Amino acid sequence: MRIIPAIDIIDGKCVRLTKGDYNTKKIYNESPIEVAKEFEAAGIEFLHVVDLDGAKASQIINHKVLEQIASNTNLKIDFGGGLKSDKDIEIAFNSGANQITGGSIAVKNTEIFEGWIQKYGSEKIILGADFYPDNVGGKIATNGWQEESSLELIPFIDSYQQKGIQYIICTDISKDGMLQGPSFDIYQQILSEVNNLKLIASGGISTFDELPKLVEIGCEGVIIGKAIYENKISLKQLEKFILNQ
């Protein structure tokens, strides 16, 4: 299972939110590059970068930060937040992203998103399936989690897998930034109902002990944010985990 730390960016700074609420913003470092270099020094190869300004503005904003991280590290970066047009995705790839994540666009403009899958291929395009849980799984949320759609989580994932998507970042918004553990049951349900999926767990990771459980379920990767920044999981633990896999 790939370990993928998260860097969320507002005003060029490394921040975290709780449940996607911009009013809960906490700045952890003025320099995302410094943070990225620390991750790389711990043997981490992958990075999840979210342009929170972009998510709000519905267009890419912090591409210069992406460019700086990409040119100063060897991390393989997946980038998301506000990618809504062909121009946005070109800027992201030209700025050094290895993959991009499309969430709102996959709901609101399926034609453009499907075009990206065709043009760039399933290795480059990740489906962002951010959801609010309900009694059958969850409802997909859009626009920096500020809007809830009527789309059900598992049918949404299944429909895009049939269109060629392999990688899915699945975030339970109710758990994001809460440090109360991830949605093991929902991830298990998704993987039992949708075959051959590269599911990346996101939201709620709080302790190191949760990582082996996600491996057991069959998650291909895990995104870890606040647990690292709040020292609930150390980079030493992650380094050891990566080496022992």
CA 210, CA 201: separation in Å to the nearest integer?
11
Distances in Å between the Cα of 33 and the Cα atoms of 47, 67, 73, 107 are 11, 10, 8, 32
Amino acid residing at 123: E
- Give the other-Cβ count within 10 Å of 111's Cβ: 7
CA 181, CA 206: separation in Å to the nearest integer?
5
Tokens 């800027």: give the residue: 91
The C-alpha angle with vertex 96 and arms to 69 and 62, in degrees rounded to 5, equals: 65
- Give the other-Cβ count within 10 Å of 134's Cβ: 11
Catalytic site positions: 8, 130
